[in-house]
């Protein structure tokens, strides 16, 4: 079973795959020629026109998001809210005592807060933003530094997979550019944390595996306060 996701007809990813002029404009938006390699990897992981029978991580072909780009942005915003809250709680608790790791947590927290600001602004332009969820991380913090770091690695790997899982559904090239930019940072967070906890920095090998909403949401549910 393939783990690639076929670009949805009419999506920004499909247009970038097929149209050279669109691809050039996109690369200009996200950093010029230096982004070419990232875009190639992104499209390879998400599928191309030579793989019309490819399926998503859940084994089903990608379908358009029912709520369009707003639904995808709000989904990403919700995940970023959870991530930002997680690092805020960890930093406040003082559970991470290793100085270098504590500093890294502060940097990652700042990144996640900036992602929230950017996604919130985008959601407002598209319609109504998702409400910030109530979160709880006490059970993780009570598990000590090791548990916190393992959870952080899991959360960051999940975040990177979540962005990749929505790539073929995004209609706007500008939003796809933003998603790619955030996906890259989430993947770097994941690689750093994977190394800290003794895991491979590339757990899926040369090409990252996408994750659908149906796969991601149950994994973040324990962090939501009732």
Task: Give tens-digit pLDDT for 108-125.
Answer: 999 999 999 999 999 999
* Angstrom distance (rounded) from CA 71 to CA 146: 35
Calculate what percentage of the chain has a pLDDT beyond 90. Answer: 68
* Angstrom distance (rounded) from CA 77 to CA 49: 30
Render the burial of 27-39: b for 16+ CB within 10 Å, e for the rest: bebbeeeebeebb
Provide the 10 A C-beta neighbour count for residue 94.
9
Domains, in order of start, for the chain = 67-223 (1.20.1260.10)
Task: Give tens-digit pLDDT for 17-52.
Answer: 555 565 455 445 444 444 444 444 444 444 443 343
Provide the 3-class DSSP secondary structure of residue 75.
helix
Provide the 3-class DSSP secondary structure of residue 154.
helix
């Amino acid at each position: 079973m393939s783990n690639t996701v076929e670009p949805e007809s009419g999506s920004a990813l499909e247009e970038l795959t097929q149209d050279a002029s669109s691809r050039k404009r996109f690369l200009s938006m996200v950093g010029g020629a230096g982004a070419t390699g990232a875009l190639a990897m992104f499209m390879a992981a998400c599928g191309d026109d030579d793989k019309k029978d490819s399926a998503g991580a859940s084994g089903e072909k990608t379908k358009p998001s029912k709520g369009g780009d707003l639904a995808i942005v709000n989904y990403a915003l919700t995940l970023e809210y959870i991530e930002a809250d997680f690092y805020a709680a960890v930093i406040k608790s003082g559970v991470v005592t290793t100085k270098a790791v504590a500093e890294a947590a502060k940097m990652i927290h700042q990144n996640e807060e900036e992602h929230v600001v950017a996604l919130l602004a985008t959601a407002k332009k598209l319609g109504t933003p998702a409400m910030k969820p109530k979160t709880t991380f006490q059970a993780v913090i009570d598990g000590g530094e090791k548990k916190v770091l393992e959870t952080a690695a899991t959360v960051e790997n999940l975040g990177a997979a979540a962005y990749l899982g929505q790539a073929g559904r995004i209609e706007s090239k500008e939003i796809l550019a933003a998603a790619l930019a955030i996906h890259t940072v989430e993947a770097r967070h994941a690689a750093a944390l994977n190394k800290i906890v003794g895991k491979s920095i590339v757990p899926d090998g040369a090409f990252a595996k996408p994750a659908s909403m149906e796969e991601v949401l149950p994994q973040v549910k324990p962090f939501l306060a009732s």
